[in-house]
A and B are shown apart, each in its own frame.
Chain A
Amino acid sequence: MIEFTPDGPFSEKADQLFPGRVRVIGLGQTGAAVCDQLVLHGRPSQDLWVFDSDQLTIEGSVVPKRYLLGHSLVHGLGCSGDIELAREIVALDEEQIAPAARGCDFLVLILGLAGSTGVALAERLIELAHGANAKVIVVGVQPFAFEGAARRARSIETIASLRAEADSVLVLAHDRIAENPATIKNIRHGFHMMHQLMAKVAQALSQIVCKRGLIQLSFADVRSLYGRYAGSEVLENCWAAHVEGDIHDRTEDLVAELLACPLLGDELIWKQIDHAIVAVSGSCDLELSEVQEMVQALKDRLPGDIPIATSASLDEESNERVRVTVLLATTAPARMSVPEIVAGFENPPAKKPRPSSKTAPISVTTEPAKPAPPVANRPAKKPKISPKPTAPPEPVSAPIAAPMAVTVESHSIAEEDLIPAIAIEPEETPTAVADTPPTPRASRRFLAKQEEMSFEAAPRGRFEKTHETMYRGENLDQPTYRRRGLKIQL
């Protein structure tokens, strides 16, 4: 009998060469949602854990290892943004948390940076993981501008604290997708889109740090790009895009689709980006030449001369599919002031009674030496609010969500009303802005309107007592015609 010894990337020998064990831990509501995406659309074999103090989040998660924390303290109701309470919970349930930091070489923590339970957990898990000689990569997302100054301020504090402790911190910004049509239609689509993208980022990081393959990168590559900052002088430092296609698809089409991803929608980010990592994963049919062709095609399309580090791995479960994830990074703080997303909430205003339907000027981070970027590719919209700024006009550094005024008003509970309204002054057309250097006034064109979210959901009629049927952020128990805005003649 002829005996065959398996060799190649799936052999035991190859396993021994790359022994890194990655554990992905979803913290808080955002982390749980991202891990759910990993279970549903990613690699089910991945070592996934989820922690939260909100019982609904934990019960709704599909991750097998999910843990409810602080039940004796908050009875499954979450921390409601109280970071001190969250730290108490973490201290109380340390025994439950500690195993998550043991038995792995790399820990990928996923969280919303404005949360409380997730942030407190991340702080403790980083300590525990370092104690166990594990490296920690944090993937966090900043809140939308319309979520408010307090949350924005907390996210900045979180970024600073995590960067001081973790080995690498990848910060994405929700506001990058604020103008995406899906987000405008329904804000839940925006959250869902970001969760999916973060899941792909986590998957790519797992591949980079431990997965054997055709071209191998390592944790050092990730750390060199995302482990440079120690504070909050730079907030957003990661832009990600993902595409999945048939291995026989044209490379140009895949690259075009990749660059059309929502986070890369704004051309101005290319002024910030100075490094890129491309993680390619495909079935055993994937050849090195195909990977090189893809990276070359990407390089041809990317502006400037951005160095690209490539990781290519083979995936047994890929059925003639190829997955490409691009992680873009900025490493130069001096260049950050121009296109950084700044919602103007760095200094949250002191608490005072809310005015009704009034606009209040918000301070905007400025960079007088550099003009505001052109916004030619931005879709023109009818203005919802056209406030007159009381502060003297200044050039704005934020290309997407630099609100100059926040409208605080009570609002109805209609689903579409939860979408952040972005107003554009009517007299300016995109082409005019693109052709001429922007004036300080022209640059202050966007408004973030903060809505009050109602705690009462829309009525579901016959299905009130049942579990909600959710699909892509939409509650299917609510009438379709209403969700789609169809007019019904009575």
Chain B
Amino acid sequence: MFWGKSRNIVVALEVGSTKVAAAVGEIRPDGTLALLGIGEAASGQVRKCEIVDFEVAQGCVRDALAEAEQKTDVVVAEVYLAISGAHIRSSNTRVTTLINNDGDEITPENLQELHDMATAQPLPTDHAIVHHLLQHYVLDDGSMTDNPIGLASKQLTAHFHQVYGMATRLQTTIRCVKELSIEVKNYALSSYATAQAVLSRNQKQLGAIVINLGGGVSDYIAYQKGAVVHTGVLGVGGDHLTNDIVSGLKIPYAKAELLKKNEGSVILDAAEADSCITLPGAYNFEERLIHRTSLNTIMQARQAEIFEIILEDLQNAPFWPDFAGTLYITGGASQVKGLVELASQVFPCPVELAHQSPFDGDQTYGRRPDLSTLLGLLQYARQAELELPSARGFARVGQSLRRALASMRLI
């Protein structure tokens, strides 16, 4: 095992409906990130990104972290956690303050005041904040800026995109990790993390929507002029496609999952209307012929519905009339055949499959869309670590001690 003071290790953890994955990365002295390795475990009793059976889910987290530790030779003491679930909601809010400084000059204290005002905004009962994402500042003449410090204005308005979720469900996921003596250093909305992996600064500026089609949920995020303008989580994902196949074709779940991955398509092709797929028999399953049209009809109906619901939500958002960017699709469920064609039929904007930004280190996982969130979370962690003031003196000793105790699983 190796963890030294010279290494700045960050670990990203995603407790998904299909798998639990932990990525270990190292922030180099020059600020770049290198992926050291990823540990994975099949997820159990996690549905729609919410834990159904605590102990089983905790076992999966333990397995994934153990594999990550084994592969990277790093002791995991703290993680950044991806948060998702259908309970997550978002809204755009704005707060205004009057500038009373000499010459009406805006100071960092004014920005802090706005931030404090935004965090003090009331939330629905039993909800907790996940993110307060700054969109931009507006001066009294209506001009927008990202950094108003030093400018003069009578008043300053800050626009925020706030993301919040049900406190109990957020706590359950966090507790699932903390009870393994692993500190949750911070957490991020899955779609926000995904965007860090697949969108460049330029794409965010031009306008982009990222849809992350996961196993349990489909989450999406919209950027315009470099700022997050809309986020959403739909509690329907790739598992629903499989579940529909199970229900429609009366076959076991495992076979339906294989059928979906290997043969399924969300586009109805007239040329394949009469073709059949042979489902091989097993000791307790008789060989079956499946009509391809039936399979594709089931999948197309579900996937089109997911896209239609997302489109409707996007169209109701204020940013939509001015949106002129591209829609990117990623996530494990984006590997289904015909997905981009279907999305192009539904969304009135260019649609592409997302590609992860290149990173250093282990390149084994670069082509897997189901790891977009995890790798994006590593990027998020890197950014957060670089912005944090580094621990010094006793704080550094305390940090080292905590890590040492954590390595022995004493805390």
B278 located at the interface, meaning its Cβ lies under 8 Å from any Cβ of chain A in the complex: no
Q: What is the CB-to-nearest-CB distance from A6 to chain B, in angstroms, rounded to a whole number? A: 11
- Give the residues in chain B near A489, CB-CB below 8 Å: 291, 293-294
- Give the residues in chain B near A479, CB-CB below 8 Å: 243-244, 247-248, 298, 302
Please determine whether B309 and A462 come into contact, CB atoms closer than 8 angstroms: no
Q: Which residue of A lies closest to B169 (CB)?
A: A467
Question: Looking at the complex, which of B46-54, B65-73, B141-149, B196-204 is the stretch in contact with chain A?
Answer: B46-54
Within 8 A of B (CB), among A429-487: 459-463, 465-467, 469, 471, 476-477, 479-482, 484, 486
Q: What is the CB-to-nearest-CB distance from A194 to chain B, in angstroms, rounded to a whole number? A: 20
- Give the residues in chain B near A319, CB-CB below 8 Å: 318
B297 located at the interface, meaning its Cβ lies under 8 Å from any Cβ of chain A in the complex: yes
Question: Looking at the complex, which of B170-178, B233-241, B384-392, B394-402 is the stretch in contact with chain A?
Answer: B233-241
Chain B 228-259, CB-CB to A under 8 Å as 1, else 0, gives: 00000011100110111011111001000000
Please determine whether A486 and B297 come into contact, CB atoms closer than 8 angstroms: yes
A490 located at the interface, meaning its Cβ lies under 8 Å from any Cβ of chain B in the complex: yes
Q: Which residue of A lies closest to B217 (CB)?
A: A469
A466 to B91, CA, bound (A): 25
Please determine whether B294 and A488 come into contact, CB atoms closer than 8 angstroms: yes
Q: What is the CB-to-nearest-CB distance from B339 to chain A, in angstroms, rounded to a whole number? A: 16
B393 located at the interface, meaning its Cβ lies under 8 Å from any Cβ of chain A in the complex: no
Instruction: Give the number of chain A interface residues (Cβ < 8 Å).
Output: 28
A119 to B347, CA, bound (A): 45
- Give the residues in chain A near B293, CB-CB below 8 Å: 489
- Give the residues in chain B near A482, CB-CB below 8 Å: 247-248
Which of B52, B234, B246, B298 interacts with A465 by CB under 8 Å?
B52
A62 located at the interface, meaning its Cβ lies under 8 Å from any Cβ of chain B in the complex: yes
Interface of A, helix, strand, loop or mixed by DSSP? loop
Please determine whether B86 and A481 come into contact, CB atoms closer than 8 angstroms: no
Which of B48, B123, B247, B309 interacts with A466 by CB under 8 Å?
B48
B408 located at the interface, meaning its Cβ lies under 8 Å from any Cβ of chain A in the complex: no
Please determine whether A476 and B235 come into contact, CB atoms closer than 8 angstroms: yes
Please determine whether B124 and A466 come into contact, CB atoms closer than 8 angstroms: no
- Give the residues in chain A near B249, CB-CB below 8 Å: 488, 490
B116 located at the interface, meaning its Cβ lies under 8 Å from any Cβ of chain A in the complex: no
Please determine whether A462 and B236 come into contact, CB atoms closer than 8 angstroms: no
A38 to B301, CA, bound (A): 31
Q: What is the CB-to-nearest-CB distance from A97 to chain B, in angstroms, rounded to a whole number? A: 18
A463 to B239, CA, bound (A): 9
- Chain B interface size range: 35 or more
A66 located at the interface, meaning its Cβ lies under 8 Å from any Cβ of chain B in the complex: yes
Q: What is the CB-to-nearest-CB distance from A243 to chain B, in angstroms, rounded to a whole number? A: 15
B305 located at the interface, meaning its Cβ lies under 8 Å from any Cβ of chain A in the complex: yes
Q: A463-B48, A479-B243, A481-B248 are in contact. Are A66 and B125 (CB under 8 A)?
A: yes
Chain B 83-104, CB-CB to A under 8 Å as 1, else 0, gives: 0001100010000000000000
Q: A466-B47, A469-B236 are in contact. Are A461 and B294 (CB under 8 A)?
A: no
Q: What is the CB-to-nearest-CB distance from A486 to chain B, in angstroms, rounded to a whole number? A: 6
A64 to B91, CA, bound (A): 15
B280 located at the interface, meaning its Cβ lies under 8 Å from any Cβ of chain A in the complex: no
A484 to B123, CA, bound (A): 36
A65 to B250, CA, bound (A): 45
A63 to B127, CA, bound (A): 12
Chain A 30-57, CB-CB to B under 8 Å as 1, else 0, gives: 0000000000000010000000000000
- Give the residues in chain B near A465, CB-CB below 8 Å: 47, 52
A467 to B236, CA, bound (A): 12
- Give the residues in chain A near B246, CB-CB below 8 Å: 461-462
- Give the residues in chain B near A480, CB-CB below 8 Å: 244, 298, 301-302, 305
Within 8 A of B (CB), among A276-319: 319
Please determine whether B122 and A64 come into contact, CB atoms closer than 8 angstroms: yes
A488 to B301, CA, bound (A): 12
A64 to B125, CA, bound (A): 5
Please determine whether B243 and A463 come into contact, CB atoms closer than 8 angstroms: yes
What are 25 of the A-B contact pairs (CB < 8 Å)? A65-B125, A319-B318, A459-B247, A462-B253, A465-B47, A466-B48, A466-B52, A469-B235, A469-B236, A476-B235, A479-B243, A479-B248, A479-B302, A480-B298, A480-B302, A481-B244, A481-B301, A481-B302, A482-B247, A486-B301, A488-B294, A488-B298, A489-B294, A490-B249, A490-B294
